[in-house]
Amino acid sequence: MKLLNTLYNKTYLLALRLVSKFVSKPNQISFVGSGSLEQLCAHITRMGLTNVLVVTDKPLVDLGIARRVVDGIEASGGQVVIYDDVLPDPTTAMVDAGVQKFNANNCDAVLALGGGSSIDTAKGVAAAATNGDIASLVGVMKVKNKVAPLFAIPTTSGTGSEVSVAAVISDAQ
């Protein structure tokens, strides 16, 4: 039995490596250091993205950190819609609410501001906005359509959510 499990796992990993050679990988640009927030905001609008959904939590709004993002995007000629209902351990319901806000406001990009929960929620919103219900995206290789443009401003370190394509979203039902 152990030999079968090992063989299965090795075959599965080999198949994933082969498939990954043919799947497009996301472009990643990093802005670091003084003025990086303004650089990111200007980059977003230079890309022609003018209506950005910022996915964050209420404490970052209350502390005024989200305001800096709003000001940066607006100064670059864009508009911002805030979705600040993210809680720790995001659920499918949070992603669904974010997608509704994205669609209702004709957003064309998603910007995550916060820790892993905000970033994972934003990933879910960006994927579900172009691929249907978040519940249908559970598993490997389920996202068929290109996701909405996604940007991240991590405010914590530890989860690494900003550098991976996966998201951890719980089904609260």
> How far apart are alpha carbons 159 and 169 in whole angstroms?
14
pLDDT score, position 12 = 85
Buried b or exposed e, range 56-85, using 16+ CB within 10 angstroms: bbeebbeeebbebbbebbeebebebbbbbb
What does each C-alpha distance from 44 to 63, 90, 146 come to in angstroms?
A: 24, 25, 17
When pLDDT is cut at 50, 70 and 90, the band that residue 30 belongs to is confident
> How far apart are alpha carbons 28 and 173 in whole angstroms?
34
Task: Tell me what the pLDDT averaged over the chain comes to.
Answer: 90
pLDDT digits (tens, 9 = 90+) for 42-68: 999 999 999 999 999 999 999 999 999
Residue 105 has pLDDT above 90, yes or no: yes
Higher pLDDT, 79 or 1: 79
Residue 24 has pLDDT above 90, yes or no: no
pLDDT digits (tens, 9 = 90+) for 147-156: 999 999 998 8
pLDDT score, position 64 = 94
Annotate 35-53 with three-state secondary structure: CHHHHHHHHHHHCCCCEEE
Locate 126 and state its tokens: 């960006």
The sign one gets for the Cα dihedral 112, 101, 83, 92 is negative
Q: Comparing C-alpha atoms, which of 146, 142, 150 is closest to residue 102?
A: 150
When pLDDT is cut at 50, 70 and 90, the band that residue 5 belongs to is confident
